[in-house]
Amino acid sequence: MYKLLDGKITGKNRAINWYLARFNWRKIVQKEAVLLGLACGMVLLISARHLMKLAKRIILLFARFILSPTIRFCSGFISWAWTASLTLENIRLW
């Protein structure tokens, strides 16, 4: 037997039903779901910021150590080819 707040003695199921009816659990659960959703959203946002920073670092490292020498090589090759073509054209003109 369980005693309710108003002093009535009742069975277990009736006490639980009264307790559930006393509070609007649907609204409480909805509020907790919204708060939980907001918390998860904040975590994902913070994670996304960290992932973006990490991606930026990886891109910069890629650009510094891989693209930069490749670009230097290509620009050097192009300038050498351009110089050679001008030189060959000058030789042909002579």
The reported pLDDT for the residue numbered 21 is 65
Rounded distance between C-alpha atoms, residue 53 and residue 2, angstroms = 58
Rounded distance between C-alpha atoms, residue 37 and residue 30, angstroms = 10
Q: Each residue's pLDDT tens digit in the chain (94 positions)?
A: 455 555 555 556 666 666 666 666 566 667 777 777 778 777 777 777 777 787 777 777 776 776 677 777 777 777 777 777 767 666 666 5
The reported pLDDT for the residue numbered 89 is 67
